[in-house]
Amino acid sequence: MRSVHLVTVLVVATILVGVSGCEQGASDTHAADAESIRTAEIEAVRAFNAGDIDGVMAVYPEDAIWFPPNAAVVKGAEGIRELASQLAAMPGFAFRVDPHTVEVARAGDLAYLIGDYDITVNDPNGNPVTEYGKFVEVWRKHPDNSWNHVLAIWNSNDSSKN
């Protein structure tokens, strides 16, 4: 009886050591992925402000979608390129983002980013006008561990509260 108990204890101990070893050896890349997404977002905005549309488009796959405020849905990289080019060409264009929340799905293949933005352009008289708002983006991870920005929706805040 004692030998059965000893064997049971040894089997359970072996399983626990094996399981804990697997967990310790597993690679949790969620924090690194979140930082990669945040960095990619900031770099894309830098490119946008520099008028580097190719740099902006580096994070967008062919099937990306934008939901801009008060406008039709923009589907596909070429449509996004066109709208981004129009925005960047506006006199006084300046864009800033604060990507304050990045959550990576447990499976590690999708993430969302939430933040605030402001965009400034000149009015017809040449005076800068700034819109403040918030955004949500969905990012998708690819087999090479790169991330693409596949969906974005943004809208302005109530102007009486800016």
Q: How many CA atoms lie within 13 A of 22 on its CB side?
A: 5
Which two three-digit tokens encode residue 23? Answer: 């967990």
Asked if residue 48 belongs to a domain, the reply is yes
Range of the domain at 71: 29-161
Q: How far apart are CA 7 and CA 104, in angstroms?
A: 42
Could you tell me if 107 and 140 are in contact, meaning their C-beta atoms sit under 8 angstroms apart? no
* Residuewise pLDDT in 10s, the chain (162 residues): 554 444 444 433 344 444 344 443 345 888 999 999 999 999 999 999 999 999 999 999 999 999 999 899 999 999 999 999 999 999 999 999 999 999 999 999 999 999 999 999 999 999 999 999 999 999 999 888 899 999 999 999 976 555
Asked if residue 14 belongs to a domain, the reply is no
CATH number of the domain bearing residue 92: 3.10.450.50
Asked if residue 93 belongs to a domain, the reply is yes
Number of domains in the chain: 1
